[in-house]
Amino acid sequence: MSAVSSHTSTQSSGNNLDPWYGNYAARTAGLAASEVRALFAVASRPEVVSLAGGMPAVSALPQELVTESFNRVMAERGSVALQYGSGQGVPRLREQILDVMAMEGIRASADDVVITTGSQHALELVSKLFLDPGDAVLAEGPTYLTAIVIFKSFQADVFHVRSDEHGMIPESLREEIARLKGLGKRLKLLYMIPSFQNPGGVTLTWERRLEILEIARDNGILVLEDNPYGLLHFDTPPPPAMRSVEEDGVIYLGTFSKTFAPGFRVGWAVAPHAIREKLILANEAAILSPSSFSQLVISEYLETVDWRAQVDRFRGVYRERKEAMISALQEYLPELSWTDPQGGFYVWLTLPPYLDSKKMLPRAVKELVAYTPGTAFFADGGGHDNIRLSFCYPTPEMIRVGVRRLQTVISGETDLVSTFSSGAPVPLRSASTSFSAPPPNLD
């Protein structure tokens, strides 16, 4: 067969948009465009108030602190910063990370820490190590949207466990484990964001943390604790990390993206010894080594700057913006319900059941406000009557403008339902700060 005919036959199962469609690996079917990423192009327009993406308020980080760290690294260690490094990460930074994690009760050694290109990279490495096609991952309902994408990209099935204003409900976890075992599913991971959860903003209580760890231990399920927001509390710190009381059954993921700056792309994982060794090998296979430059700049920052005071400054910024969002919701949308987070970046808004947040989004963009539909945070099609609102990036003044525009959108959609439905819409809910739990997971 000639090279031309061979090439033609290779493309025979393609389509007009992608001639190589039939050549992709089966696992690529799990890849889907992030609904947040799709919004960034629109949200970046200056006239649009974006309540969508979870972008940190990097403007609250004094630029001179970063510039000074950058200059010292290049002046004193430039040849090292621009060179390949260890697949596990810079030793000094790993030691400094121990001080960061100690604030949440975690005791570890520097040898336990593996540096990654952001905590999302760590999430992918863990998935690569543990997930085979058809494996089951348990997660809060709702949960972090890109975690769903990653799990599905490794052809795993994601099942949600009911949550309320106190986080995942342990009894619902027991029921879901029993159900999945009855179906013959292999349960590999329990994915948790226990503190100021994305997207719900809720925090798992200490009692539930202990009970969920016990359930996971009894059922041989590895807990993946993702903790980007734990230090960003407004008043009272959250309970200690789950890793603080369970070392053998928990992989802990951390990041500097929320407490320093996301552009450096530096996160880390802390894992049991055998898993840690495989994480290093997987890290080297994927990227050879994390950025030496980014690690050394962050290490220099931690060494020379009062980083705890800077984290406290971030807390003040996000507290003010959260209060602005809650105040605006109370003024413009008092009939609805929402969570009132005590830290982190997000408020979870519940709409009337006759509205669809995803279908409503084009109208919102037309009204110059962007949000993330609740459907992005469920693997099973749930969340149509939910919206994630991010208060981390816009100023308090713009948050108020955005919520006022959102009220216009919701009122317009409600009027349409009233006009074209056979009966009057269901009355709106009373104002509440409770976390609206999703319906049971459906096969």
Q: What are the structure tokens assigned to 287, written together? A: 């990227």
Q: Identify any residues that bridge with 49 across adjacent strands, giving them in sequence order.
A: 369
Contacting residues for 431 by C-beta, under 8 A, at least 6 apart: 330, 334, 335, 336, 337
Instruction: Identify the residue whose tokens are 């602005």.
Output: 324
Residue burial 287-316, b: 16+ Cβ < 10 Å; e: rest: eebbbbbbbbbbbbbbeebebeebbeebbe
Contact 154, 128 (CB under 8 A): yes
* Rounded-to-integer distance, Cα 33 and Cα 39, Å: 10
CB 160 within 8 A of CB 380: yes
Question: pTM value?
Answer: 0.88
* Burial class of residue 63 in the structure, from the number of CB atoms within 10 Å of its CB (0-12 exposed, 13-18 middle, 19+ buried): exposed
Say how far apart CA 248 and CA 258 lie, in whole Å. 27
Is residue 261 a contact partner of residue 287, using CB atoms and an 8 Å limit? no
Q: Give all strands (DSSP E) within 22-104, no chain letters.
A: 49-50
Domains in the chain: boundaries:
32-60+309-416, 63-304
- Which pLDDT score, from 0 to 100, does residue 431 have? 37
Placement of tokens 């972008």 in the chain: 55
Cis upstream peptide for 352 (omega within 30°):
no
Rounded distance between C-alpha atoms, residue 89 and residue 355, angstroms: 48
Domain 32-60+309-416 has CATH 3.30.1360.10: no
Cα 160 to Cα 26: distance, rounded to the nearest angstrom? 24
> What's the pLDDT at 440?
32
Q: Which two tokens stand for residue 152?
A: 């599905």
Q: Which residues of 358-391 are buried (b: 16+ CB within 10 A; e: fewer)?
A: eebbeebbebbbbbbbbbbbbbbebbbbbbbbbb
CATH topology of domain 63-304: Aspartate Aminotransferase; domain 2 (3.40.640)
Q: What is the pLDDT of residues 129-173, one digit of tens each?
A: 999 999 999 999 999 999 999 999 999 999 999 999 999 999 999
pLDDT for 276 equals 95
**Sign of the dihedral defined by the CA atoms of residues 427, 428, 431, 432, in that order:** positive
Is the CB of residue 364 less than 8 Å from the CB of residue 410? no
Place of tokens 């993206």: 257
Strand blocks (E) in 198-292: 222-226, 250-255, 267-270
Residues of the chain below pLDDT 70: 1-16, 30, 32-44, 422-443
- Write the DSSP string, 103-126: TTT----GGGEEEESSHHHHHHHH
* Residues 418, 321 contacting (CB under 8 angstroms): no
Question: What pLDDT sits at residue 80?
Answer: 85
Bin 184: left if φ > 0, else alpha if -120 < ψ < 50, else beta.
left
3-state secondary structure of 49: strand
What is the DSSP secondary structure assignment for residue 377, as one 8-state letter? G
